[in-house]
Amino acid sequence: LNALLKHANSGKAAKISRKTIYTLGIIDRRLRVLKALAAKAMGFIVICDRYYFDDIVHYQSLPKDQKSIARAIAYGWIGIYPDITFYLKINAKNAYQRKQDYDFQTMVETVSNYNKVLPEQKNVIVLDAMNDKAEITSTIYKKIYNLCAL
């Protein structure tokens, strides 16, 4: 998908509409969680990070005219949830220092959307990313152990 978008936007090929880019991006993200969905459907325990809910967060940020197809894709698999999803909550400033894929204002909006949407989702454990790594790791291990304990 990235190669296609780079080629399409290089000026050497026909431009791709913004709506098409959003739709392809959403499909690409959904394909990333297909393995988790299949494992869950087969009865396996599924543990994820925030990526499982990226489409719902992304949907929240779209302009109104781009929400119709995005909604169908983003919410199409609701009802199948990981057994646990870990979300490491971080503020926009620290997130931007770690990852600068877009401008700071976009980071502020993205972090705000994650902080609003993720805690409302089923089986999401919110952890403060600024806590000590050993403390975060210990909490994750305990949650997984409790989930897998017979």
pLDDT value at position 108? 93
Distance between CA atoms of residues 57 and 60, nearest Å? 5
Residue 136: pLDDT band (50, 70, 90) is: very high
Residue 11: pLDDT band (50, 70, 90) is: low
Average pLDDT over residues 20-36: 75
Interval 78-118: pLDDT, tens: 677 889 999 999 999 999 998 888 889 988 998 999 999 89
116 or 37: which leads in pLDDT: 116
pLDDT value at position 27? 76
Distance between CA atoms of residues 5 and 1, nearest Å? 6
Residue 138: pLDDT band (50, 70, 90) is: very high
70 or 107: which leads in pLDDT: 107
DSSP class per residue in 50-83 = GGGGHHHHHHHHS-GGGHHHHHHHHTTTTT---S
Residue 20: pLDDT band (50, 70, 90) is: confident
Average pLDDT over residues 128-149: 94
Average pLDDT over residues 117-133: 93
Residues in the chain: 150
* 17 conformational bin, left if phi > 0, alpha if psi -120 to 50, beta if neither: beta
